[in-house]
Structure 1
């Protein structure tokens, strides 16, 4: 994991972004926790280490990370956005009962944008695949 943190810090430096302790902690949290947290989750997890940090600081840093391609924002209807460190292209399985999100890595879909472009003539800029169902914990309930 520290490799991903180091690599991300280098990308920030390359883009002339100052590495503050808060930025470093937010990035490290997103990499270490694969729970797809909300901005509020990040804030609550780090507020004891950074008592003067505001929720706005977390949002601003998440926006910066999104602009630089380090993080993806996952929007689902009216609920809070979730944030995902994006080191590799992957998809998501989402529990319709508890909201848990699991990453799915499926290399077979790597060329889906090319195929879609060839079939439709669209200039494809991105794609998103989500699978919905009940997670193992909710199935046991």
Structure 2
């Protein structure tokens, strides 16, 4: 069952459960496409409305817009992502990479207390690099 003050809903539970069950950082369209066969009366609007509720309640975080679609992560702990500009793959960076980033990019802003961060790196993933190299480009 979903946390928060919202009314219990099987659709809401299915949407959140799917986002929590994947590491692909899905968008609303992907969630809709996955659930529609098992929930025939599901609408894309229902998916968007419920994701907005999850964001408001802190159950999911927005990774940002990738290839024209907002993508989401159920892991709401502070952690950086890498986004492939070619295929749109979103990857959580390892704890080792996170530790290195914190060591190298610690910032003290005078008169400002940081309580949240969202770090996203953009580039080309290994698979796309290998594909490009194989094509001789």
Which TM-score applies when normalising by structure 1? Answer: 0.77
Output the CA distance in 1 between the equivalents of 2:45 and 2:8: 17
Deviates more, 1:61-70 or 1:121-130: 121-130
One of 15, 25, 34 as aligned partner of 1:36: 25
Deviation at 1:110, TM superposition (A): 6.5
Q: CA RMSD in A?
A: 2.5
Unpaired runs of 5+ residues, structure 1, are 1-8
One of 132, 135, 138 as aligned partner of 2:128: 138
Aligned to 2:73: 84
Aligned residues: 128
Show structure 1 runs of 4+ deviating over 4 A.
109-112
Q: Residues 28, 111 of structure 1: CA spacing in aligned structure 2 closer, same or farther, 3 A cutoff?
A: farther
Unpaired runs of 5+ residues, structure 2, are 132-137
Task: Give yes or no for contact 1:89–1:105 (8 Å, CA) kept in 2.
Answer: no
Deviation at 1:133, TM superposition (A): 2.0
1:90-129 matched pairs, under 5 angstroms: 90-106=79-95, 107-108=98-99, 116=107, 118-129=108-119
